[in-house]
């Protein structure tokens, strides 16, 4: 039987750090509130588009696997914050990498986009539809953020990481996954309005309207990730005790602690990044995975559980068996262009561009669909 081994990994974090103190210069919030309710101390703000973060992470992951860009048959770009509406972002990464032989597709299941992309790409490698695949989790949320809304503005950050998949005859890579979606609650986490890194006439950065019921999402995230984890562990014929490492989606430290408790997973097996990166949506799990490998927490043959939750409300838990290699075959010299501004300056620039446009005053484009809209 053919498996899809993870043979390369790499991350690309924007260097500008936005602290809780920075946020409290323009929001009615405090370091004490943010740390006690979420565990977050800081997050990153990107000075480049998501495609550029993904290209650097992709180059690093390819070098780690010892592959050239031409060797790629597939690029999966997991994200919910795209630089442009059309064409897709994966094709932008493909052209920057020079991956001339690849097919390219985007996957958007919000915070779970990397993990759903990992499912899709692993299945294609396992059937033989493709050989070498690059799976990216990237998010540049800062231009989509409503920076006037303290309920959401303190929670998110930008970031990116990617993995390379290759066929293997050994039982490694993704062993199983549990996927699901609480679609009847999709309206409690919703972003509407203009976003992306390119401004259009009349559509400016940050003119988004966020519907966000944090308390309700919290409860559903705990239930969804805990149940999905229990199911995938059982389906793979394993027990909670046999999990070596948990690399969860990181929306809130208290959510992670509750998931671990409900799924019978001790916190000392959970790898945390929420303090320094916040919630990077689709980038959260792959960035944490790369950090865990670099910290020596992933060993040859390790069993790694990756629970995820996000808008939709999509949920999942992925169980991976690591292969023999936990060190890169080679390093890439790919780097981002230098960032000359502080994270607070980058955010204040987005805030200043917001102008007087009021996204909340905008209604549905086609009133005859209003009834349908209200029901969803
Ligand atoms: C958002 C979240 C941190 C709020 O924590 P919480 O413990 O539920 O917060 P509480 O309900 O106790 O407190 C809410 C109060 O804090 C206030 N508040 C919200 N954000 C705040 C901030 N950044 N600073 C200070 N106060 C804030 C609210 O206005 C509210 O005040 P009120 O009670 O006077 O109305 C938490 O619910 C959460 O993490 N939810 C899920 C996160 C999520 O959805 N992530 C994305 C999907 S994976």
**What sign for the dihedral angle of Cα 1, 74, 115, 329?**
positive
The residue whose C-alpha atom lies closest to atom 20 belonging to ligand 1 is 151
Domain that holds residue 32: 3-359
Residue 342 C-alpha from the chain's centroid: 23
Least confident of 34-38, 91-95, 185-189, 204-208: 204-208
Would the CB of 250 count as within 6 Å of ligand 1?
Answer: no
Lowest mean pLDDT among 31-40, 138-147, 316-325: 138-147
User: Which CATH number is 47's domain given?
Assistant: 3.40.47.10
Q: Is 373 within the bounds of a domain?
A: no
Domain contains 376: no
Tokens of 331: 């390093």
**Chain-centroid distance, C-alpha 179:** 16
Ligand 1 mean position to 42 CA, how many Å? Answer: 17
Nearest partner of 190 among 206, 213, 219, 222, judged by Cα: 213
Going from the Cα of 168 to the center of ligand 1, the distance in angstroms, rounded, reads 45
**Residue for token digits 């890194």?**
197
C-alpha to C-alpha distance for 114 and 337, rounded to whole angstroms:
25
**Sorting pLDDT into bands at 50, 70 and 90, what band is 16?**
very high
State whether the beta carbon of 310 lies less than 6 angstroms from ligand 1: yes
- Which of ligand 1's atoms lies nearest the C-alpha of 153? 23
Please check the confidence at residue 267 and state whether its pLDDT lies above 90: yes
Confidence tier at 202 by pLDDT (50, 70, 90): low
pLDDT for position 197: 72
SS3 call for 167: strand
Mean per-residue pLDDT for 103-108?
Answer: 98
Confidence of residue 352 (pLDDT cuts 50, 70, 90): confident
323 occurs within a structural domain: yes
Q: Measured between alpha carbons, how far is 277 from 42 in angstroms, rounded to an integer? A: 6
Mean pLDDT check: name the lowest of 161-165, 190-194, 290-294, 371-375.
Answer: 371-375
The answer to the question of residue 322 being in a domain is yes
The answer to whether 111 is a known catalytic residue is yes
Q: Does the residue 222 lie in any domain? A: yes
Cβ of 79 closer than 6 Å to ligand 1, yes or no, is no
Q: Is the CB of 37 under 6 A from ligand 1?
A: yes
Report the first-to-last Cα separation within the chain, whole angstroms.
42
For residue 374, what pLDDT is reported?
A: 54
Q: Which residue in 20, 108, 207, 279 is the catalytic one?
A: 279
Closest by CA to 120, choosing from 63, 109, 111, is 109
Q: pTM for the whole thing?
A: 0.95
> How confident is the prediction for the chain on average, in pLDDT?
93
pLDDT of res. 246:
98
- Mean predicted confidence (pLDDT) in 65-88: 95
3-class SS at 199?
A: coil
The span from the CA of 349 to the CA of 328, in Å, is 38
For the CA of 111, the closest atom of ligand 1 is 48
The residue nearest atom 4 of ligand 1, judged by CA position, is 214
Q: List all residues 6 or more positions away from 175 whose beta carbon is below 8 Å from its beta carbon.
A: 236, 319, 320, 321
Catalytic residue among 12, 64, 80, 111: 111
| Percent of the chain predicted with pLDDT > 70 | 91
Contact 319, 233 (CB under 8 A): yes
Q: How many CB atoms lie within 10 A of CB 128?
A: 9
Name which of 196, 149, 141, 144 is nearest 23 in CA terms.
Answer: 149
**CB distance 182 to ligand 1 below 6 Å:** no
Residue 139 confidence (pLDDT) above 90: yes
CA 72 to chain centre: 22
Question: Would residue 160 show up in a list of annotated catalytic residues for this protein?
Answer: no
For residues 261-289, give the mean pLDDT: 98
Residue 373 has pLDDT above 70, yes or no: no
Task: Tell me how far the alpha carbon of residue 314 lies from the centroid of ligand 1, in angstroms.
Answer: 21
Structural domain tally of the chain?
A: 1
Contacts of 80 (CB under 8 A, 6+ apart): 108, 109, 110, 111, 113, 139, 281, 282, 310, 311
Residue nearest to atom 11 of ligand 1 (CA): 215
* Residue 30 CA to ligand 1 centre (angstroms): 12
CB 245 within 8 A of CB 297: yes
Instruction: Note the maximum CA span of the chain.
Output: 59
| DSSP, res 223 | H
Let me know: does 374 contact 363? Beta carbons within 8 Å.
no
CA-150 nearest atom, ligand 1: 23
Whether 151 lines ligand 1, by a CB cut-off of 6 Å, is yes
Block residue for tokens 């990498």: 97
Going along the chain, which residue ranges are E strands?
A: 3-11, 16-19, 42-45, 74-78, 103-107, 133-139, 159-168, 173-181, 189-193, 208-212, 245-246, 303-310, 314-321
Any atom of ligand 1 within 6 Å of the Cβ of 344: no
Q: Measured between alpha carbons, how far is residue 312 from residues 81, 107, 223, 316 in Å?
A: 14, 13, 15, 12
Confirm whether 318 is a catalytic residue: no
pLDDT greater than 90 at residue 201: no
Please state the rounded mean pLDDT for residues 174-179: 98
CB of 309 shorter than 6 A to ligand 1: yes
Q: What is the mean pLDDT of residues 134-139?
A: 98
Q: What is the pLDDT of residues 279-310, one digit of tens each?
A: 999 999 999 999 999 999 999 999 999 999 99
369 within some domain: no
Q: Quick check: is 371 in a domain?
A: no
- From CA 160, how far away is CA 137, in angstroms rounded? 6
**Ligand 1 centroid – CA 150 distance (Å):** 9
Residue 366 falls within a domain, yes or no? no
47, 77, 249, 318: the active-site residue:
249
Please tell me if the CB atom of residue 217 comes closer than 6 angstroms to any atom of ligand 1.
yes
155 CA from centroid of ligand 1 (Å): 9
Instruction: Tell me the Ramachandran region of residue 193: left when phi exceeds 0, alpha when psi lies from -120 to 50, beta otherwise.
Output: left
Neighbours of 149 (CB within 10 A): 14
Cβ of 253 less than 6 Å from ligand 1: no
């Amino acid at each position: 039987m053919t498996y899809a081994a993870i043979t390369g990994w790499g991350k690309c974090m924007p260097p500008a750090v936005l602290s809780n103190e920075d946020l409290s210069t323009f929001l009615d919030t405090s370091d004490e509130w943010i740390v006690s309710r979420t565990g977050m101390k800081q997050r990153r703000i990107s000075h480049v588009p998501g495609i550029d973060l993904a290209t650097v992470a992709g180059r690093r992951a390819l070098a780690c696997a010892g592959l050239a860009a031409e060797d790629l048959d597939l690029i999966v770009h997991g994200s919910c914050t795209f630089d442009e509406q059309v064409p897709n972002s994966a094709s932008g990464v493909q052209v920057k990498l020079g991956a001339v032989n690849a097919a390219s597709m985007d996957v958007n299941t919000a915070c779970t986009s990397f993990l759903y992309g990992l499912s899709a790409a692993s299945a294609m490698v396992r059937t033989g539809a493709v050989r070498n695949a690059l799976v990216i989790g990237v998010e540049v949320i800062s231009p989509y953020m409503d920076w006037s809304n303290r309920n959401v503005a303190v929670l998110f950050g930008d970031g990116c990481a990617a993995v390379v998949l290759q066929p293997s005859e050994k039982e490694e890579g993704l062993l199983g996954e549990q996927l699901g979606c609480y679609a009847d609650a999709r309206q409690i986490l919703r972003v509407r309005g203009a976003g992306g890194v390119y401004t259009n006439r009349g559509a400016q950065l940050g003119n988004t309207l966020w519907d966000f019921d944090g308390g309700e999402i919290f409860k559903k995230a705990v239930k969804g990730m805990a149940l999905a984890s229990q199911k995938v562990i059982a389906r793979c014929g394993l027990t909670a005790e046999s999990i070596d490492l948990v690399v969860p989606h990181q929306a809130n430290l208290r959510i992670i602690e509750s998931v671990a408790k409900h799924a019978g997973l001790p916190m000392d097996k959970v790898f945390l990044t929420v303090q320094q990166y916040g919630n990077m949506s689709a980038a959260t799990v792959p960035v944490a995975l790369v950090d865990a490998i670099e910290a020596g927490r992933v060993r040859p043959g390790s069993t790694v559980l990756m629970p995820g939750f996000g808008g939709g409300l999509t949920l999942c838990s992925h169980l991976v068996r690591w292969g023999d290699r936990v060190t890169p075959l080679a390093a890439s010299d790919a780097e981002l262009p230098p960032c000359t501004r502080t994270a607070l300056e980058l955010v204040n620039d987005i805030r200043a561009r917001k102008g007087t446009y009021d996204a909340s005053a905008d209604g549905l484009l086609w009133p005859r669909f209003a009834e349908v809209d209200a029901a969803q």
